Amino acid sequence: MKSARLFAPLVAALTLAVFASAQTAAPVDVAALLARPIVDPALPLAEVRAYTAGRVPAMPAVTTLADWQTFANHTRRDVLEKIVFRGELARSWRDAKARVEWLDPIPGGPGYSIRKLRYEALPGLWIPALLYQPDHVSGKIPVHLAVNGHDKDGKAAPYKQLRCIALAKRGIASLNVEWFAQGQLRTDGFTHYRMNQLDLCGVSGLAPFYLAMSRALDALLALPYADATRVAVSGLSGGGWQTIVISALDTRVTLSNPVAGYSSFRTRAEFPSDLGDSEQTPNDLATVADYTHLTALLAGRSALLTYNAKDNCCFASDHALSPLLAAAEPVFQLYGQPHRLRSHINVDPGTHNFEVDNRQAFYRMVGDTFFPGDPRYRSEEIDSTAELKTAADLTVPLPTDNLDFHQLARAAATALPRTTTATRESLAALVHYQPHAVTAPPPATETRGDTTAAFYALRVADTWTVPVVALTRGTPRGTTLVVADAGRKSLAARTEFLLAAGQRVLAVDPFYFGESKISQRDFLYALLVAATGDRPLGIQSSQLAAVARWARTEFKSAPLTLESHGPRLGVAALIATALEPTITTLHQTDALPSLHEVIRQNWSVDKYPELFCFGLLEHFDISNIQSLVVPQRL
């Protein structure tokens, strides 16, 4: 094999020849050396926490209302333009005319009726919904959007029905909408971790979520009796997340009640229970705004932040609430309206809920905001359990060809990548590649039989610790860096083969793999890395390139080969080879033949987090990256 860069189109053909001889059993010595721990198991989690928390923007130091309003307007614009509606296709969805179809009513209960409807969040993607409307409407009345979280019952969840019924009995029209992957939309194609397939195509996967909410508000405010000055949104958990997002960014909302739905990105970095799914942690949001900013954006309107004291899911009150209040209270003060920001902590039952106590707190806020001084208004719970409907009762007919995230991504990927010139500079910018410096503390060493190992805890960019085992036998004729999706411990047989062939072997566990694997909720931290403006794929490729530069200097080694095993690190290794001239040869096995496979195989971000690098397929497929890997002199 030539000591020059290997064109990746040949990788598949070479796989059998290069690796067939590596299938023999590895000696116990090599396996034991590869398995020896180098870093504290808690270190990868500690490093990613520190890294992400340190990148979250702080609240601005504004002292006048005019300065805050300027900041607020810019922040809303930037979140919408740079995050929510990122990509041409997402903007076309935003600008498209969405249809609303009103269907037959069904019986409600005393004082209200229920009417079924469906509306398009974007062309071809329909959302089922239910309008709870008072029987007697005189003039303009308040309206309410009820959103829900990760509840398989969706719009039929009893606590959600009860909230809508209670408001209708108080003279408020309430729109109960279904959420993706719940209730009637509980399908594999709507799994939230598949929204990132759109991200890979350079289309904001957050856009459908936002449009589902904003189109629902459109439908509500189109009602002839809707009072545009009295518009409420409320929801639990993922519904709480929806509530803060639509309320912060759409000023048509005048009363917001998110319940156990979010916390600051800094809080999330520290408390893994709060990390949140793909839509809650979208690419680059924290480069524009934190959830503290979104909370402060409610100022000038009314907000009730509800949290639970013993929350058994996420966003427990003891850590989630205070940073949000600290951010928002000074801004409400600038408006001269501190009374319009309230909080409620539920202690009975105190778990993850929107039950009676939390509902009554909401009804009190509704009364004080929409019916001030009205002696007829009551905030106590109205027992309506006998009026609850079954999911079948509340089913809304949907088109059989209703689009979902996977179908949208398949359509978006059809013409990708775009016909643009592939350059190293554009690839580096896309994956957020950085030519990091490396420092190497003195390694521990161990000799077993005729194999000597040095155990390095390399510091990359003074941010990441990358564990590396350097193994030698005799006098090496070259150096090979090996990485594997299954971690370095899986490479004993291959390492033995390379040592026997006269190679120095550097077994590396880069970010997210092997000994660098995050100990809990690992893929959610990968989402958080992307939300704070970096890319896991870029971190991995930057680390591999940095280790290669260090090895070339440390061992005065030429040639230097990079070898990957598995589809995930295969992409990072290919990018590192394309961008780092120190790497003279690339060998791969089980490499991904095309990024289109991510969508064809309907992969999700929880299983392959780094492969959903925003916009990568929009500009590069594997073959385009391969074209940047050219023969280069030593």
Structural domains in the chain?
8-53+422-559+566-626 (3.40.50), 96-371 (3.40.50.1820)
Q: Which residues pair with 114 in a beta bridge?
A: 106, 132
DSSP 131-162: EEEES---S-EEEEEEE--S-TTGGG-HHHHH
What per-residue confidence (pLDDT) applies to 545?
Answer: 98
What per-residue confidence (pLDDT) applies to 25?
Answer: 52
Residue listed under structure tokens 């420092």: 439
* DSSP state for residue 84 in the 8-state scheme: I
CB of 573 closer than 8 Å to CB of 422: no
Would you call 306 helix, strand, or coil by DSSP?
strand
pLDDT digit string, tens, across residues 160-213: 999 999 999 999 999 999 999 999 999 999 999 999 999 999 999 999 999 999
Q: Is the pLDDT of residue 619 over 80?
A: yes
Q: Is the pLDDT of residue 332 over 70?
A: yes
DSSP 308-333: ETT-SSS--HHHHHHHHHHHHHHHHH
Torsion angle, CA of 58/62/65/71, rounded to 10 degrees? -50
* DSSP state for residue 264 in the 8-state scheme: -
Q: Which residues pair with 467 in a beta bridge?
A: 457
What per-residue confidence (pLDDT) applies to 558?
Answer: 76
pLDDT digit string, tens, across residues 479-512: 999 999 999 999 999 999 999 999 999 999 999 9
CB environment 458-489: b (16+ within 10 A), e (fewer): bbbbeebbbbbbbbbbeebebbbbbbbbebbb
How far lies 448's CA from each of 28, 41, 304, 340, 454, in Å? 9, 24, 64, 70, 12
One-letter amino acid for residue 307 of the chain = Y
Q: Is the pLDDT of residue 22 over 50?
A: no
Q: How far apart are the first and last CA of the chain?
A: 15
What per-residue confidence (pLDDT) applies to 18?
Answer: 41
- Rounded to whole angstroms, the Cα distance separating 506 from 560 reads 10
One-letter amino acid for residue 606 of the chain = D
How sure is the predictor about 391, in pLDDT bands with cuts at 50, 70 and 90? very high
- Rounded to whole angstroms, the Cα distance separating 559 from 502 reads 12
CB of 343 closer than 8 Å to CB of 306: yes
**For the whole model, what pTM was predicted?**
0.95
Q: Is the pLDDT of residue 2 over 90?
A: no
Q: Which residues pair with 115 in a beta bridge?
A: 105, 131
CB of 508 closer than 8 Å to CB of 466: yes
